[in-house]
Structure 1
Amino acid sequence: MSVFVLDKRKKPLMPCSEKRARKLLDAGRAVVVRVVPFTIRLKDRVGGEVQPLQVKLDPGSKTTGIALVRVEDEADPESGEMRRTVHPLWLGHLQHRGAAIREALQARRALRRRRRSQNLRHRAPRFDNRTRPEGWLAPSLRHRLETTLSWVQRLCRWTPVSALAVERVRFDMQAMQNPEITGVEYQQGTLHGYTVREYLLEKFQRQCAYCDASDVSLQVEHVQPRALGGSDRVSNLALACPPCNQKKAAQPVEVFLAKQPERLAKLRRQLKTPLHDAAAVNSTRNAIVQVLRKSGLPVEASDGGRTKYNRLALSVPKIYALDAACVGRVDAIGLWQRPVLGIKATGRGSYQRTRLDGSGFPRGYLTRSKWHYGFQTGDRIRAEVQTGKKAGSYTGRAAVRATGSFNIQIAGQPAVQGINHRHCRLIQRADGYGYAFQPKAA
Structure 2
Amino acid sequence: MPPGTRQGVAARKEGRRVQAVSVHDHSQGARRRRDAAPIQIKIDPGSKTTGIALVGDFKRGKKVLWGANLTHRGLAIKMKPEARRSLRSSRRSRKTRYRKARFLNRTKPKGWLAPSLMHRVFTVDPWVTRLAKWTPADQISIERVRFDMQTMENPEIQGTEYQQGTLHGYEVKGYLLHKWGHQCAYCREKDVPLEVERIQPRSKGGSDRVSNLTLACVPCNQKKGSKPVEQFLAKKPDLLKRILGQAKAPLRDAAAVNATRWKLYETLKVSGFPVEVGTGGRTKFNRTHQGFSKNHWIDAACVGESGERLRLPILKPFQIKCMGRGNRQACKTDEHGFPNKWRTRQKVFFGFQTGDMVRADVPSGKNAGHHTGRVSVRAKGSFALATKDGKKDGINHRFFSTIQRQDGYSYA
Residues 170, 285 of structure 2: 8 Å contact kept: no
Q: Deviations over 1:53-98 (max 9, x none)?
A: 1100011111111001112367xxxxxxxxxx32111101111111
Specify which of 326, 341, 347 is matched with residue 349 of structure 1. 326
The code of the aligned residue for 1:302 comes to G
The code of the aligned residue for 2:393 comes to I
SS in 1 for 2:294: coil
Change over 3 Å in CA distance of 1:361–1:48 after alignment to 2: same
Distance 1:354 1:55 in 2: 42
SS in 1 for 2:340: strand
Change over 3 Å in CA distance of 1:330–1:424 after alignment to 2: same
User: Pairwise mapping of residues 101-250 of structure 1 onto structure 2 (< 5 A)?
Assistant: 101-118=77-94, 120-171=96-147, 179=153, 185-186=156-157, 189-190=163-164, 192-203=168-179, 206=182, 210=187, 213-214=190-191, 217-221=193-197, 239=215, 242=218
Change over 3 Å in CA distance of 1:90–1:346 after alignment to 2: same
Residues 358, 372 of structure 2: 8 Å contact kept: yes
Unaligned runs of 5+ in 1: 1-8, 15-45, 75-84, 437-442
User: Pairwise mapping of residues 299-338 of structure 1 onto structure 2 (< 5 A)?
Assistant: 299-328=275-304, 329-338=306-315
Shift in Å, 1:126: 3.0
The code of the aligned residue for 1:189 comes to Q
Change over 3 Å in CA distance of 1:359–1:66 after alignment to 2: same
SS in 2 for 1:185: coil
Distance 1:358 1:254 in 2: 54
Distance 2:278 2:242 in 1: 36
Larger radius of gyration, structure 1 or 2? 2
Shift in Å, 1:249: 7.0
Shift in Å, 1:105: 1.4
Q: Paired residue for 1:70?
A: 56
Q: Paired residue for 1:408?
A: 386
Specify which of 253, 260, 267 is matched with residue 291 of structure 1. 267
Residues 371, 387 of structure 2: 8 Å contact kept: no
The code of the aligned residue for 1:71 comes to D
Shift in Å, 1:231: 7.6
SS in 2 for 1:189: helix
Change over 3 Å in CA distance of 1:223–1:421 after alignment to 2: farther
Q: Which has the higher helix share?
A: 2
Q: TM-score, normalised by structure 1?
A: 0.69
Shift in Å, 1:152: 0.4
Distance 2:156 2:51 in 1: 32
Distance 2:301 2:133 in 1: 20
Q: Paired residue for 1:77?
A: none
Q: TM-score, normalised by structure 2?
A: 0.73
Specify which of 61, 82, 87 is matched with residue 47 of structure 2. 61
Q: Deviations over 1:97-149 (max 9, x none)?
A: 11111111122223233333435333343333333222221111111111111
The code of the aligned residue for 2:323 comes to T
The code of the aligned residue for 2:51 comes to G
Change over 3 Å in CA distance of 1:307–1:118 after alignment to 2: same
Q: Does 1:375 align with 2:375?
A: no
Q: Paired residue for 1:419?
A: 393
Change over 3 Å in CA distance of 1:109–1:55 after alignment to 2: same
Q: Paired residue for 1:95?
A: 71
Change over 3 Å in CA distance of 1:201–1:218 after alignment to 2: same
SS in 2 for 1:156: helix
Shift in Å, 1:301: 1.2
Identity of aligned residues (%): 48
Supply the RMSD in Å over aligned alpha carbons.
4.4
Q: Does 1:364 align with 2:338?
A: no
SS in 1 for 2:107: coil
| Larger displacement relative to structure 2 (300-309 or 186-195) | 186-195
Q: How many residues align?
A: 375
The code of the aligned residue for 1:430 comes to Q
